[in-house]
Amino acid sequence: MKLTIRGKKKIQGTIKISGSKNSALAIIASSIITNEEVIIRNVPEIDDVLNQIKILEEHGYTIYFQNNILKIKPKKHINYRFVSESISKLRGSYYFMGAMLAKSKKIKIKQIGGCNLGDRPINYHLEALKKLNVKIKEKDDCLYLKTSSLKGNTIKLPFPSVGATINALIASTKAKGITIIENAALEPEVSDVGNFLISMGACIEGLSTKTIKVTGVDYLHYTDYYLASDRIEAGTYLLLASTKDSDKITLENVQPYYLKSLIDVLKEAGSDISIGEHSITIKGNSHLKPLNIEIGPYPAFPTDLGPIISVIATQIEGESTIKETIYKNRTSHINELKKAHANITLSLDTIYIKGKTKLNGTIFQSYDLRQSAAMVLTSILASGTSIIENAEILFRGYEKPIEKLKQLGINITLINE
């Protein structure tokens, strides 16, 4: 699958931001805990979500998914073996560990896939689950997790891992007694999953803080839940319109507060941004000041936007720096940007970008989701026509990107091969 993009077009219009990819994957997995129907609204129709739904269907669940509304019919007993190819394709499948332990007290799960971003240790998840009285064995390419009874405990995470926090949160909803998760991740997706579980009857306190308290309950019930919007998708489109004077876009269905770190960076650089209750409007500015960003866990600047804002830095006069402190391999965009004649280098964990650079259209490769999005932005800002190969990666995390970009006046075509 390829994308062809003709750059240097004026960007203007309004985009409705989709539901959160990262929340959706965890919430779909955790929905299996209840034996009653679950309805989830604002679910993005993206490949990762479709893959997560496929896993449920492989285990006998009846699914209705239309117009971003997902209905999951209950199933009391399901096969504890999660070993299909669908599992290995998607890192978000690891949330089935916490969910199956809460539902059936055991799971056999194939080793997990996802983007290759370097060291993403699943041991944080496993150590957290061990604290809840879970025994774990590894054989061949599978993990075996089993418990006689989930028991509340204090879990102190060595790093505020989003995935480990969510897995511990899901499992502990059915653990006997009280579970305290210390050094918990503060990302909005954690709160979204927690609020979903609360809507089913879970007893959770301290969401959006470093210490979460969960009092185990015996039963979770039916819910009808509205998913939060995707802050990374919103950030991607916000950056797209930031560097040209003629560009102006409005984002709808957003929670601006969760984009504060990006908005602060852009305002400090000189962007004209107006914020509504659930909307953001940005007017482009061709005279932004250089960026100096340190990426870190929320509420710091998000790692997922690092490759994308690197592209924007090529259009800013002077030297910008972006320090990546989470994923050591989040650098696949660097050599691809060099193909477009960007002046970009990496030293240890910091990217240095000197602008202002005239980018030229070329042939790009997609390696991971956010790098793929960065190549789309590069192609839009570049002169001439660009081709992005392996473009199917983009559809893992962005809903209807072709339609949305065309709404903004961008000349983009999808070629299926």
Span 64-101, pLDDT tens digits: 999 999 999 988 889 999 988 888 777 778 999 999 99
Pairing of strands 142-146, 211-215: unpaired
pLDDT of res. 115: 47
Q: Measure the CA–CA gap between 323 and 132, rounded to whole angstroms.
A: 36
Overall residue count recorded for the chain in this entry: 417
Closest C-alpha among 186, 176, 207, 165 to residue 30? 165
Question: Which secondary-structure segment (H or E) carries 184?
Answer: none
Beta carbons within 8 Å of 175's beta carbon, 6+ residues apart = 102, 132, 133, 150, 151, 152, 153, 214, 216
Task: Write down the H helix ranges in 345-415.
Answer: 369-381, 401-407
Which is catalytic among the residues 107, 115, 132, 282? Answer: 115
Identity at 372, one-letter amino acid code:
S
Q: Measure the CA–CA gap between 53 and 406, rounded to whole angstroms.
A: 28
Segments of the chain with pLDDT less than 70? 113-121
Question: Taking the complete model, does pTM exceed 0.75, yes or no?
Answer: yes
Q: 142 catalytic, yes or no?
A: no
Mean of the per-residue pLDDT values of the chain: 93
Q: Measure the CA–CA gap between 219 and 278, rounded to whole angstroms.
A: 34
Domains and CATH numbers, the chain: 2-17+229-415 (3.65.10.10), 21-226 (3.65.10.10)
Q: Measure the CA–CA gap between 190 and 126, rounded to whole angstroms.
A: 18
Bridge partners of 282, per DSSP, are 249, 273
Helix pair 162-172, 21-30: axis angle to 10 deg: 30
